[in-house]
Amino acid sequence: MSSLKFVVAAVLGLFLVAAPAQASVVLSSVSNDVVVSPTTPVKFETVITGNFFGGGWTFTDGVHTLVGGFFSGSNPLVDIGAFSYAPGLYNYVFSYTAFVSPGGAETRGGFEGTITAVPEPATWAMMTLGFLGLGLIAYRRRAGSSLRLA
Tens digit of each residue's pLDDT (9 = 90 or more) over 85-105: 988 899 999 999 999 888 778
Name residues whose C-beta falls within 8 Å of residue 114's C-beta, 6 or more positions apart in sequence: 32, 33, 34, 89, 90, 91, 92
Residues of the chain with confidence (pLDDT) below 50: 1, 17-20
We find that the CATH architecture of domain 20-140 is: Sandwich (2.60)
Answer yes or no: are the C-beta atoms of 23 and 37 closer than 8 Å: yes
Answer yes or no: are the C-beta atoms of 61 and 89 closer than 8 Å: no
Q: What is the pLDDT at residue 69?
A: 93
Q: What is the pLDDT at residue 60?
A: 93
Q: What is the pLDDT at residue 110?
A: 92
**What is the model's pTM?**
0.65
Q: What is the pLDDT at residue 99?
A: 92
CB burial string 33-48: b at 16+ within 10 A, e below: ebebbeebebebebeb
Q: What is the pLDDT at residue 17?
A: 47
Answer yes or no: are the C-beta atoms of 20 and 80 closer than 8 Å: no
Q: Which of 108, 117, 95 is nearest to 40 (CA)?
A: 117
